Structure 1
Amino acid sequence: MIKKIILGIFLSGTCSLFAQQTLSGVVFEDVNQNGKKDRLEKGIAEVSVSNGREVVITNGDGKYELPVGEDDIISVVKPSGYKVGKNEDNLPQFFYIHKPKGSPDLKFKGVEPTGKLPKSVDFALIPSEEKENFTALIFGDPQPYTQQEVDYFADGIVAEVEGIENVPFGLSLGDLVGNDLDLFNPYIKAVKNAGIPWYNLLGNHDINFDVENDIFSDETYEAHFGPANYAFNYGKVHFLVLDDVLYPDPRDGKGYWGGFREDQFEFIENNLKHVPKDHLIVVALHIPLSEPEGRDTFRDEDRDRLFELLKDFPNTLSLSAHTHIQRQDFFGKEEGWQQDKPHHHYNVGTTSGDWYSGKLDENNIPVSTMRDGTPKGYAFINFKGNEYNIDYKVAGKPVDYQMEVFAPKVVAKGRRTKAGIYVNFFMGTEGDEVLYRIDDGEWKEMQYIEDYDPSYIEMVYEWDLTEELMPGKRSSNPIKSEHLWRGNIPTKLETGEHSIEIKATDMYGKTHTAKSSYRLAEPVK
């Protein structure tokens, strides 16, 4: 039954009237997987369904009702033990778009008019065995600005995970493209080749810039991927995917700012009411909750409100990308987190690295190491019930390549030197143990420092010192790395080659190793 109610809403400083309706439907067990509810297929009780603000639970017959306006997307919150259908491009189909008049007229096309509301909007769920131990694949910022860069992404990243097994889904953390929203389809075709269902998230380079209100900044994104705010469950993990790009910036109407609208907070609060308190909450965003280099990149009161809504969940993790570096942040009570155990925020290294810069490798793909010395790559989050650990995989390198070691090639024997051994431990954070030893000698602690990675400095300034242009484009200038360690170089040893061994233990107790060497030579008089 559709009940029409004329409502006035206040939007972008003007009052507009439109018909709000009550939508009804059924969430059902799609036994024959045809996407339609057949007569003998049963409804599924206690499943969350949302219009992007309210969240309701299906009754014993799988039925629900929700109010909808003329610019809403209805989505089902996939419960554990079920999967949703996917389209031919491996995009999960968990939503219904209701825009009777379509999107506004924008530079990049949005949603076509959807027409009248159907009598019933039903969601098909397919029973699926879901283990509580599983791994998700995470991409940060593919961000191609051209078709060539889409090809770099496809050949340098996606090809490496094509046909991946034992990974039930992937997620890209925004900046799927670089301002040209016509590249959404090439991006979709590229990531399709991973061969697994792929979720997406809106970034600041994925928005419609020719709008005056943030509510319309995701129209083209919605046409390709569905809602910009949604949730789903897998095992004992609840994934909360959010658009945290405020555009235009509410402070001055220019640029963007990290934060949320009021309707998003309604969705977050209403959604979390139906999540068991012992489940792990994974909040996926584009702009980090942290503010590197002291810049005001995220609205503080919005972070505080999010933390307030998470205060009763002892198991949490948040993910972001955006910065094109990699770092681990921990929020305690001084930063507004309301639990004794700090909240872990992982700012994931990007698949585009340093925006497809640097020398070309043997496959003519930019090396694209990031400004903090982290090579481009992607992350695997390994879940065990409501616990997790994370692995970072450097693109084009063996799995055990977890750090870069820098040491001088030759040092004067017997002379003190200010040169050092540097280790960039890509997943490291202050407090991790990083040890080194020379020639099977005693293991010694390396000193954690925040400094420029000399390996990256060497890489960048090769472009400035060469007398002939190199293929590719110069990398960005270095910034201080937050996962760098230093050790002194022993010089009172025999002349000749000396081995360096590194042993680093990450926050999850996993130990990683690396090797290098340096040579001692008699001083030149």
Structure 2
Amino acid sequence: MNLKIALLTGVLFSNVLHAQEMIRGLVYEDVNQNGKKERREKGLPQVAVSNGVDVVLTDQSGAYQLPVRDNSIFFVVKPNGYQFPLDENNMPEFYYIHKPQGSPDLKYKGSEPTGKLPKSLDFALLKDETEKEQFSALVFGDPQAYNMDEIAYFDEGIVQEISNREKFAFGLSLGDLVGDDLTLHDPYKKTVGKLGLPWFNVMGNHDMNYDVQQDVLSDETYQKNFGPNNFSFNYGGAHFIVLDNIIYPNPRTGKGYLGGFRKDQLDFVENNLKFVPKDKLVVLAFHIPLLHDNSDVFRNEDRQRLFDLLAEYPNTLSLSAHTHLQRHNFYTKEDGWKQDKPHHEYNVGTTSGDWYSGLKNKLGVPTSTMRDGTPKGYAILNIEGNKYTFDYKVAGEPEDYRLNIIFPAAVQQKYLRRHTLSVNFFIGASSDIVEYSLDGKEWKKMNHTETEDPSFQYHVLKFDNAETMMDGRRPSNAVKSTHVWQAKLPGKLQAGQYTIQVRATDMFGRTHLQTKDLKIVE
């Protein structure tokens, strides 16, 4: 009996020790940038470190300790005034993968066995004298190349056109970095690496391992290639939280995926926010929009817990992609948001546009306008303190090209009223004001109308009515756009030459102007 008790006690004691296994280490300033902690290099206090769930701060000497969780990733949260070391493709090096047995055998390779943890797991940071409260960052939606030809389209159509790279602090891709073939992660990294900016990444549903039966294993290859798919960092007056919000397989059906978060991910958000001042701008970045009106796409209870965690943060923004459209979602108390001011989610247009479809331009790159009439391009997030604005840069067009005016260049006077003036304001929200004027005279308000973009429909019809082979792939069918405004021109205009001027005032009070010449003939 005594032997049995002793054995049982030993087993319990062993389990307690295992449950309490801790990793210790230092966060330090890597003065000589050699990636090794040296005696003269000081530890950094009050820096957050995480195992993907728990979050702790370093002490005055830069030391930390965290519980060990198998098959997890340890990482440091970038504090203000410092930057992460970068690899040869400008991907931040801020994490340590802990998978003692390695990844399971998958179609696309995951991590090799990492074995035992080091005695001290140290993280290097570099002093950054250039970080400012006012900064801009590039935001890419869905590069999503399915082959090397499309990697080349991404390179030539997006990356190579960004000439003013020095104005950006870093870049962020919002998932679907590639299109299912995860061997393309490396070419993708080399391509964005050309920009010379620190580049952060979000996991998308086309970046996953599909040959698994548990969501926690769907990111094995992604983690090998990019590190943690849930992490955070500080820059200026903003705190960024990057999350993987794809649950695979869908727990409701066992097939496909569902938008949402696991409990451990939201536990990380909760633990992370304990060390984020309430006056910070909290920017959430994930792939699938929160889509408050469709519980078949996003799990409502997960969104609600996220909203609950943000209840005391008055300055927030969410960034998503996935839809290959561009729109703004505003979440109110009716949607479970806890504050009077709605939560803004910017669903960013994509760098692949409509999946690299459409006619090719002079570079041989598909124009790939999205189904809502938004041209292929990328967003620019501008932050000053805890406030933000954004711009959308259309690929291959001048920086001030923000509107598409849709109206014939010449019409007969008697048929003028048969035509509708349509304007697609690419970054527009329904509350924005769009007006038109003829020859700079009276400004008249246009009506916001959720409808298909006529110019996009025209491009689709070119393919549908082609009598010779078209140079490109047929675009997808048009969908209703959330950023089209319409008006009828006065019916009594005399024959002559006119200039249609359009003025759009966005949610930040900025005005955007575009003009188009019109000839009216008898």
Is the contact between residue 162 and residue 195 of structure 1 (CA under 8 Å) also seen in structure 2? no
Please list the CA deviations of residues 128-148 of structure 1 after superposition, one character each: whole Å capped at 9, or x if unmatched: 122100111100000000110
Which letter maps to 1:316? T
Deviations 1:251-285 (A, max 9, x none): 01100010000110110100000000000000000
Contact 1:436 1:443 (8 Å CA) reproduced: yes
2:242 alignment partner AA: V
> 1:473/1:295 Cα in 2 relative to 1: closer, same or farther (>3 Å)?
farther
Shift of 1:469: 1.2
1:504 counterpart = 2:494: no
Deviates more, 1:116-125 or 1:27-36: 27-36
The aligned counterpart of 2:454 is: 454
- Secondary structure of residue in 2 paired with 1:434: strand
Secondary structure of residue in 1 paired with 2:287:
coil
Work out the CA distance in 2 between the residues paired with 1:336 and 1:19: 37
2:191 corresponds in structure 1 to: 190
The corresponding residue for 1:216 is 217
8 Å contact kept, 1:411–1:491: no
Post-superposition CA distance 1:41-99 (Å, at most 9, x none): 11111111000011011111111111113201000001011111011110000101111
Query: 3-state SS of the aligned residue for 1:482?
Result: coil
SS at match of 2:222: helix
1:291–1:362 CA distance, 2 compared to 1 (3 A): farther
Moved over 6 A (4+): 17-20
Letter in 2 for 1:230: F
CA distance in 2: counterparts of 1:478 and 1:145, whole angstroms: 22
SS of structure 1 residue aligned to 2:21: strand
Aligned pair in 2 of structure 1 residues 155, 6: CA closer, same or farther (>3 Å)?
farther
Task: Provide, for residues 188-215 of structure 1, a one-character-per-residue CA deviation record: whole Å limited to 9, x for no partner.
Answer: 1111101111001100000000000000
Q: CA deviation at 1:490?
A: 2.3
Q: Under a length normalisation based on structure 2, what TM-score does the superposition of the two structures give?
A: 0.95
Q: Aligned letter for 1:254? A: K
Q: 1:245 maps to which residue?
A: 246
Answer yes or no: is the 8 Å Cα contact 1:414–1:493 preserved in 2: no
Cα offset for 1:489?
2.0
Aligned residue pairs total 510
Is the Cα–Cα contact under 8 Å of residues 71 and 99 in structure 2 kept in the other structure?
Answer: yes
What's the offset of the Cα at 1:495? Answer: 1.5
SS in 1 for 2:383: strand
Cα distance in 2 between the residues matched to 1:460 and 1:5: 69
* TM alignment of 1:431-510, pairs within 5 A: 431-510=431-510
Match of residue 58 from structure 1: 58
How far did residue 410 of structure 1 move? 3.4
2:25 alignment partner AA = G
Percent identity between the aligned chains? 56
SS in 2 for 1:205: helix
How far 1:18 sits from its partner (Å)?
8.0
Q: Which residue matches 1:381?
A: 381
1: CA distance, partners of 2:418 / 2:486: 11
CA drift of 1:521 comes to: 2.5
Q: Give distance in 1, aligned partners of 2:392 and 2:235.
A: 21
Aligned to 2:263: 262
Note if contact 1:491-1:520 (Cα within 8 Å) is conserved in structure 2.
Answer: no
Residues 438-460 of structure 1, C-alpha deviations (whole Å, 9 max, x = no match): 12321100111000110111111
TM-score when scaled to structure 1? 0.95
Structure 2 match to 1:199: 200
> Is the 8 Å Cα contact of residues 407 and 517 (structure 1) preserved in structure 2?
no
Structure 2 counterparts to residues 297-446 of structure 1, below 5 A? 297-414=297-414, 417-446=417-446
Contact 1:359 1:368 in 2 (8 A): yes
One-letter amino acid of the structure 2 residue matched with residue 447 of structure 1: N
1:20 positional shift: 6.8
1:6–1:20 CA contact under 8 A, matched in 2: no
Task: Identify which range, 420-429 or 157-166, moves more after superposition.
Answer: 157-166
The SS at the match of 1:436 is strand
AA paired with 2:403? M
Call closer, same or farther: CA 1:404–1:7 in 2, change over 3 Å.
Answer: farther
User: RMSD of aligned C-alpha atoms?
Assistant: 1.7
Could you say which residue in structure 2 is the equivalent of 1:28?
28
Letter in 2 for 1:412: Q
Specify the alignment match of 1:126 in structure 2.
126
Instruction: Structure 1: state its 5+ residue gaps.
Output: 9-16
